[in-house]
Structure 1
Amino acid sequence: MTRRVHTFLATLSLALGAALAGCATGSGLEPGATRDAVIQRMGQPTAVVRLPNGGERLQYSQQPAGQYAWMADFDAGGRLVSLRQVLNENDFRRIEVGQWTRDDVEREFGPAARVERMRGWDGPILTYRWNMGPGMDRFFWVYVDPQGVVRRAHQGIEFLRAGPRRA
C-alpha cells in the first residue's frame, strides 16, 4: 500500500471515529430510545444481528481500516438497552476459548478487519484492529478451528501505524 493511500485511510478512519464517537458518547441517546432514533442519529449500521433474548444488535464497525466498533443493543420491544464501543481489552477478555464460536465472536465484535490463513493452523484467523490509547495501536487475533470453535485468542502490536522501529 502506498504511503498516500495509507495516509488517506488513516485520516478517513480518524474522521469516522470522531463522528461515531460523538454519536456514541454525547449523542443524547439514552436507554429506551427507539431503533429509528438510533439510526437517525448514527446512520445505517454495518450489520444487524439477532440476539438470543429476542432483541437485536445494530453494529457500527470501522473495520477494516478503523479501530472501533459500537454495538447498539435493543430489547425485544425495539428499545435501546445499551450503546458501547467493544474493541477494547476488557471486552476481548470475555472470549471463552473452547466455548465461543466464530458466530459468537462476530456477534460480539462485528466483522473482522481481515480473515487470514497461515501454515500450521487449519482454520481461519480473525484479525481485529483496535487502539489501547495514544500511540498504542493493536491487533487482536482469534484462531478458529475447522468446526468453528475458538481455540486461541491474543493481542499484538500493530507496527505498521506505530512508526519505524529502532534496532
Structure 2
Amino acid sequence: MKRFILPVLAAAALSLSGCASLFAPPVNPGDTEQQVVARLGQPTAVYPDGNTHLLEYAAGAFGQYSYMARIGPDGRLISYQQVWTMENFRSIKVDQATKNDVLRLVGRPTEVTRYARIPFEAWNYGFKESGVWNSQMTVYFDAQGIVRKVENGPDPRFDDSRMRF
C-alpha cells in the first residue's frame, strides 16, 4: 500500500503544478517583449505591422483560440488578445484584403485547402463562435492572394454525425 501512495501523491502534485500555469494571469500592457516571451514562450509567428509588430500564439490542430501580442516601437506590450472572433472575421474586406492583411488580423489558419477546379485557396479557422458554437470560418483567396469570399459554418471536426459508423 505504501508503494502505491507515493507515486499517486507525486502524480497529483505534478498534475496540480500544470494547473498553476493554466490559470496564471495573462501578460500585462507595459511588459517588455522579453517578459512576454518568457511568460508565453516563443511565438508561432511574428508579423510586422507599421511601427509595431505582432507575436502570434496560434492554436494547435484542434485549438479554437489564437492570441496576438502587439509590441510597440518601445519594445513594450500594447495589447494581448484572442483574435479568432466574429468581430475580427467580419472586418476582413472582400476584394481588398491580402493574405498578409489576414495574417496580421487573425493569424495563421488551422488548415489550408487548395482547389484543383477553381483557382482558390481556402484558409480554415476552427473557432468558438460567441464562446458556444464550434464554427469554422473559411477565407478564400484568388491566385493573386486577394480575399474573394469569407464563409462561416459548422466546424466539421466536431460534427458528431460524421463520426458514426
Match of 1:34 among 27, 32, 35: 32
Aligned to 1:106: 103
Give the percent of matched residue pairs that are identical in Structure 1 and Structure 2. 34
Are 1:51 and 2:49 matched, yes or no?
yes
Q: TM-score, normalised to structure 1's length? A: 0.77
Counterpart check, 1:69 vs 2:66: yes
Aligned length in residues: 144
RMSD of equivalent CA atoms: 2.3
Determine if the alignment matches structure 1 residue 124 to structure 2 residue 125.
Answer: no
The answer to whether residue 164 in structure 2 is matched with residue 155 in structure 1 is no
Gaps of 5+ in 2: 1-18
SS at match of 2:84: coil
C-alpha distance in structure 2 between counterparts of 1:20 and 1:108, whole Å: 27
**Which digits, 9 at most, give the CA deviation of each residue in 1:14-63, with x for residues without a partner?**
xxxx999746xx32x221110011111111111111111x2111000014
Q: CA deviation at 1:121?
A: 2.6
Q: Normalization by structure 2: what TM-score?
A: 0.78
Q: Structure 1 unaligned runs (5+)?
A: 1-17
In 1, distance between residues paired with 2:72 and 2:35?
14
Partner of 1:97: 94
Is 1:138 the counterpart of 2:140 in the alignment? Answer: no
